[in-house]
Structure 1
Amino acid sequence: MKKALALVLAVAMSLSLVACGGAPSSAPASQPASQPADSTPAAPAPTSIRVVTTYAGTDSNAQNYKDAVAAWEKETGNTVEDATATSNEEFKAQVLADFETGSEPDVLFFFNGADSNSFIEGTPKVVSIDEIRSVYPDYASNMKDDMLGASPVDGKNYSVPVNGFWEGLFVNKDVLEACGVQVPDANTTWDQFMEMCETIKGKGYTPIATSLGEIPHYWFEYCIYNFLAPATHNVLPTKDAGNAQHQAWIDGIGDIKALYEAGYLPKNTTSAKDDEMFALFTGGKAAFWLDGSWKVNGVAAACGADADNNIPADEEQLSHFTVTYVPGKNNRKTTDIIAGLSSGYFITQKAWADPDKQAAAVSFVQFMTSDEQVAKFCEASGNLTTALKAGVKVDDSKLNSLQKAGLDMANGATGTAGAVQDQFQGETRNPVFVPGMANIVTGKADIAASVDEVIDLIAAAQG
């Protein structure tokens, strides 16, 4: 699931923007790997490439992705076999399993941190940007190389990002009003937030809608962040005596358990699906929902938006929702947020070995990461963090009330950290994610022992 404060100030909700400049030029899309960059080979016959992304479900860019794919197919004559799915731990595991069985796609939009380690370690199953540029010298030339998301395995760049993300606290203002509670702001502390939750619970509402049995990582991130700081949040814990990260993880997860024990989470939080919890929030049964900027479209859809038919959300309905900072404590300021760049487009060795698919894959990624497309994706997803050399700009007049609230939140950020979950992957997360978090909050697993188990699994995975 990241960058300097200057980037965070750019991270924002669904921003309308004007990209400076157009898509970069590239080597001819028809050029196979065996051809030098200045050759002019015969154009290959149209081909089909298999693509997997996370632009599905209520992701704010689901429709933009579909539109872009259709435009690329029309422009090139190629076709896309799309296997896009909603991102969760099951999706990640399936992607990694596909690489293990030789079923990987030709192009993959995926996380560029530890999640991608397994298909880069040893002989990489994806192609580095340097290798691609040896044949297509203008590949990703519109991007800043130091923001492309170098792999923790070998420091090389393999993926080309589109736009970044932020994580924030969505608020149902109707629930707060019914409970006589004010919307949390930049000055709200964790203790004050707990008092709000107690009041909301007392009025018969659920304070926090969340699925700890399916997607526990948002609260995991911020509760640990509360015991750290932007500069230290991304450091993995060790078992060393007095290790600050180790204690921060124990204390942070302890706060999640405290939320559960206080009755501030839904009674079925350990078994309910994420979409059930989101419906609880948008349906006026719960006050708060912690998620990423990609959830903007989900809130808009609950307010009448229809991306397929270009129908915007009903502004009156949307005005009943907002997004704000997650209240902080200890060294973390409430205005320190989690944000950055965490995903990008990979081209697999499978596609690279086939001259026609190679050319199509390069053309596809170039199209999807052009200045024009990145601008559209930034506008819909709610942030301006990109690796574009030209950057993007915001036209406030095109933003709805929820988008403006997100922009205000991002512009007021005092610090940023990437999501620490990006530093470890797959089954190493299980003791504190799924099913671990559900076991922890219900008392079936010990917090310290679970953290130690994660540390051991990380060590074993690293060999």
Structure 2
Amino acid sequence: MKKSALTIVSLLLVMTMFLAACGGNKPTDGGKASNTPSSTPTETQEPSKEPDPVNLRVFSTFGGTDAAREAFQKALDEFTSANPHVKIENDTMSANDDGFRTKVNTDMTNGNEPDLLFYFIGTDASEIIKSEKVVPLDEVLDADPEWKNGFAPAALEFAKHEDGKTYAIPLTGFFEGLLVNKKIFADNGVELPTDWEKMKAAVSGLKAKGIIPLSGPFDQSHYLLEHFILAAAGSESQNKGLKDAVDPNWAKGLDAMKELYDLGAFPEDAATIDLGMAANYYSEGLAAMVLEGSWAIGGLSDETKANTTVLPFPAVPGGAGTGKDVVGGFGTGFYVSKATYDNAAKKDATIALLKHLTSPATIKNIATANGGTPAAAGVEPEGVTQAVLDGFKMVSEATSVNSPIDSKVTPETFSELRANVQPVVTGKKTGTEAIDAAKKVEDSAK
């Protein structure tokens, strides 16, 4: 392409020089110079027009305490510096905030769509895809092979919607696992929880020393649900969600949560804290374990970060889990709203911004900041901690890598599951009753 453009420019220069030599005061009447102006009027070159100003709004989770907040802002600044006619509103909200999904759905249905939306891949996005609030980007990818081929094939495959189309362009992937403070375990003579019996022994031993064994909230119980159900039900059942017949192993996962609760596993205020506070207990060394994602490692205190390893959650006895089933993948990506795609004044700038934010250089910077798995082929994050490397190793040895449960069931079903965690662990409901209630919600959404 560059060679062709150079050839065209060279031809234009030759033609311009030829016309300059032959035009203007062209000799006439036997070689005498004519003072008569040429019959062809001289064309004046219009100055190149500056691009019209464009205002774009990007809505994402890269704000607040997010480990990649500065790296993401830097990428936006790079784009506006190279494209001064574009102004970007960097609108952010924490993904752990329960209002995040509500804001996205409200904005998308009320005509307040962001031009570029960083959001979950999977069931969470089904409604905005079904209502055609965002556009498939397969043609955009195919039109730019260099950009498309820069992605790891597995990342693009993971990002496909159930209809086989690509609506979200991935940035970084993630892993979730059991973050364990090795020093607390060693100082208290407790073995690492590599199987269920060792997990129970660790809970009992740490509780006796006045240490929170496993930090986690009962309301925002995202990671508790994901890991306990996967550890009991296994990959195949977890990936089916609750669309078909109920697998009794799902209830077994909730009952296992109660088993650890009865041993004193969770913080005394687990009923009132949120995900942020649960992570803070671990970061400050008050808790020995926490179920979290790769993004949380960068926000840990330096001491805790240095002492952290990442393990798969142990299999629940009698279930279908292997003890090496993990949660991970590429669960988020950039969507382009249909309103923006259909807007000639915004479309090109938005697509250009999308390509910049998902370029190998930007992906590397974001992955280095948040410890995520790069969606770009051949890109390796720099300076990641040993905990992140342990997480990568965990994934490489996994018997299965599974997207989170909230991408397999409707938001209403997941809310029902969350609402039943506290009743189950406190003995007010059985695991079976909780799963049956969630199944009814799932069926009503069909």
**What range is the shorter-chain TM-score in?**
0.7 to 0.9
What corresponds to 1:384 in structure 2?
Answer: 373
Aligned length: 393
Q: How does 1:348-367 map to 2 (within 5 A)?
A: 348-367=337-356
Cα 1:100–1:428 change in 2 (3 A) is: farther
Name whichever structure is richer in helix by fraction.
2
Contact 2:367 2:381 in 1 (8 A): no
Instruction: Specify the structure having the higher radius of gyration (Cα).
Output: 2
- Deviation of residue 232 (structure 1)? 3.6
Name 1:281's counterpart in structure 2. 282
Classify 1:80/1:394 alpha carbon distance in 2 versus 1 (closer, same or farther; 3 Å): closer
2:201 is the alignment partner of 1:195: yes
- Against the structure 1 CA distance between its residues 133 and 206, is the aligned structure 2 distance closer, same or farther, given a 3 Å change threshold? closer
2:170 touches 2:332 (CA, 8 Å); kept in 1?
A: yes
CA distances 1:34-87 after superposition (whole Å, capped 9, x unpaired): xxxxxxx97631311111111233333222111111111111121211221110
Aligned partners of 2:52 and 2:172: how far apart in 1? Answer: 32
Structure 2 counterparts to residues 291-310 of structure 1, below 5 A: 291-299=292-300, 302-303=301-302
Measured on the aligned residues, the alpha-carbon RMSD in Å equals: 2.5
Separation in 2, partners of 1:391, 1:235: 32
Per the alignment, do residues 451 and 239 of structure 1 end up closer, same or farther by CA in structure 2, a change over 3 Å counting? farther
Residue of structure 2 equivalent to 1:104: 113
Alignment of 1:73-222 (within 5 A): 73-77=80-84, 78-88=86-96, 89-121=98-130, 123-130=131-138, 132=140, 140=148, 142-143=150-151, 144=153, 146-147=156-157, 149-152=159-162, 154-184=163-193, 188-214=194-220, 216-222=221-227
Using the size of structure 1 for normalisation, the TM-score is 0.78
CA distance in 2, matches of 1:64, 1:272: 29
Q: 2:360 aligns with which of 371, 379, 386?
A: 371
Given candidates 385, 392, 415, the residue that maps to 1:430 is: 415
Alignment-derived partner of residue 61 in structure 2: 54
CA distance in 1, matches of 2:432, 2:393: 38
Note if contact 1:239-1:455 (Cα within 8 Å) is conserved in structure 2: no
| Inter-partner Cα distance in structure 1 for 2:59 and 2:156 | 25
Q: Could you tell me which residue of structure 2 aligns to residue 227 of structure 1?
A: 232
Counterpart of 1:147, as a letter, is: E
CA distance in 2, matches of 1:55, 1:247: 38
CA distance, structure 2, for counterparts of residue 432 and residue 49 of structure 1? 37
Counterpart CA distance in 1 for 2:414 and 2:326 is 22
Deviation digits for residues 189-241 of structure 1 (CA, Å, limit 9, x no counterpart): 11211111110011111101111222x1212111111223334421123574x
**What aligned pairs does 1:33-48 form with structure 2 within 5 A after superposition?**
44-48=51-55
Higher relative contact order (CA 8 A, sep 6+): 1
Structure 2 counterpart of 1:76, one-letter code: N
1:183 deviation in Å? 3.1
Match of 1:451 in 2: 435
State which drifts further: 205-214 or 320-329.
320-329
What is the CA–CA distance in structure 1 between the aligned matches of 2:424 and 2:105, rounded to whole Å? 27
CA apart distance, 1:323: 2.2
Mean Cα deviation higher: 109-118 or 416-425? 416-425
Q: 1:415 to 1:133 in 2, by over 3 A?
A: closer
5+ unaligned residues in a row in structure 1: which ranges? 1-40, 304-315
Relative to 1, partners in 2 of residues 1:427 and 1:229: Cα closer, same or farther, differing over 3 Å? closer
SS in 2 for 1:432: helix
